[in-house]
C-alpha cells in the first residue's frame, strides 16, 4: 500500500501580519482533523538554521546587502528541507511553515532590489522544492502592521517604513505573478476572521486527502 504524501502549506506576509498566531491555530485545527502535522519556522528550527537566523536578525549593523541576505535565508531553508521537511512529507505528515521562499522574494527580491526572478532562480538551484502546495499571504497595510509590533525590533524589522511598504508590494506582486501558487488574505481583520478564511482555503487541500 502506498503512503499519501503530506501537504506543504506556508503562511507568509509582512512583519506584524500575525502569521505566527495563524500558523499555530491552523496546525491545531488540522491536528483536530486527524492529520499528522509538523509546524516549523523559516529561518530556523534546525541548529544551522537558528545560527543563520541569529546572524540575519542581529541588530548590529553587519553591512549585509540583499544578495548575501538571500543566500543565507536560502541556506537555512535548504537545511530545514534536508533535516525535516523531506522526511515529513514522504511519511505523510503535513508541514505548516511560518515563511518560505515567498519572503525572500518580497524582502530581498523586491524591497531589497535583488530581483524576484533572481530569488526564484536561486531557489531552483538550492532547493529541492521551490513552491509549496499552497502559500497564503497575509496582507496588511504598513501602518496597522507597525501598530502590532510594540516590542524590540530585529535587524530586518528596523529597516523602516519605506522598506516595509515595499515588502508588502513585493508579496502582492509575487501573488500576481504566480496565482497558481499564492493566495492573498486580508489580515487587517480579527484573528478569528483571518483564521476562518485560512481554514476555508486550506480545507480544499484536504478534500482528496
Binding interface with ligand TMP (CB under 6 A): 15, 41-43, 57, 73, 98-99, 103-104, 107-108, 156-157
For residue 170, the minimal CB distance to ligand TMP (Å) is 10
Q: Which three cell numbers stand for residue 91?
A: 511519511
Virtual CA dihedral for 190, 131, 204, 172, nearest 10 degrees? 40
For residue 49, the minimal CB distance to ligand TMP (Å) is 10
Cβ proximity to ligand TMP, 58 vs 193, nearer residue: 58
CA distance 136 to 113: 23
Residue 176, number of CB atoms within 10 A of its CB: 10
CA distance 108 to 101: 10
For residue 48, the minimal CB distance to ligand TMP (Å) is 15
For residue 201, the minimal CB distance to ligand TMP (Å) is 20
Q: What is residue 95's three-state secondary structure?
A: strand
Q: How far apart are the first and last CA of the chain?
A: 15
Cβ proximity to ligand TMP, 46 vs 104, nearer residue: 104
Cβ proximity to ligand TMP, 82 vs 206, nearer residue: 82
For residue 107, the minimal CB distance to ligand TMP (Å) is 3
Cβ proximity to ligand TMP, 89 vs 167, nearer residue: 167
Q: Does residue 43 have a cis bond before it (omega within 30 degrees)?
A: yes
Cβ proximity to ligand TMP, 6 vs 44, nearer residue: 44
Which residues, at least 6 apart from 116, have a Cβ–Cβ distance to it below 8 Å? Answer: 105, 109, 110, 170, 173, 174, 177
Amino acid at each position: 500500500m502506498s503512503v499519501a504524501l503530506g501537504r506543504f502549506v506556508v503562511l507568509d506576509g509582512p512583519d506584524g501580519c500575525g502569521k505566527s498566531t495563524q500558523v499555530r491555530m491552523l496546525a491545531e485545527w488540522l491536528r483536530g482533523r486527524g492529520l499528522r502535522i509538523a509546524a516549523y519556522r523559516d529561518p530556523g528550527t534546525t541548529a544551522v538554521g537558528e545560527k543563520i537566523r541569529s546572524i540575519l536578525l542581529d541588530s548590529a549593523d553587519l553591512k549585509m546587502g540583499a544578495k548575501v541576505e538571500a543566500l543565507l535565508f536560502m541556506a537555512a531553508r535548504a537545511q530545514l528541507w534536508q533535516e525535516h521537511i523531506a522526511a515529513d512529507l514522504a511519511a505523510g505528515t503535513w508541514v505548516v511553515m511560518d515563511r518560505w521562499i515567498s519572503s525572500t522574494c518580497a524582502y530581498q527580491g523586491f524591497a531589497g532590489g535583488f530581483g524576484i526572478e533572481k530569488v526564484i532562480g536561486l531557489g531552483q538551484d538550492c532547493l529541492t522544492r521551490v513552491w509549496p502546495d499552497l502559500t497564503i499571504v497575509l496582507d496588511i497595510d504598513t501602518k496597522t502592521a507597525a501598530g502590532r509590533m510594540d516590542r524590540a525590533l530585529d535587524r530586518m524589522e528596523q529597516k523602516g517604513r519605506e522598506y516595509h511598504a515595499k515588502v508588502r508590494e513585493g508579496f502582492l506582486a509575487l501573488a500576481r505573478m504566480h496565482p497558481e501558487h499564492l493566495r492573498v488574505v486580508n489580515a487587517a481583520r480579527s484573528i478569528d476572521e483571518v483564521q476562518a478564511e485560512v481554514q476555508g482555503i486550506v480545507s480544499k487541500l484536504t478534500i482528496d486527502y
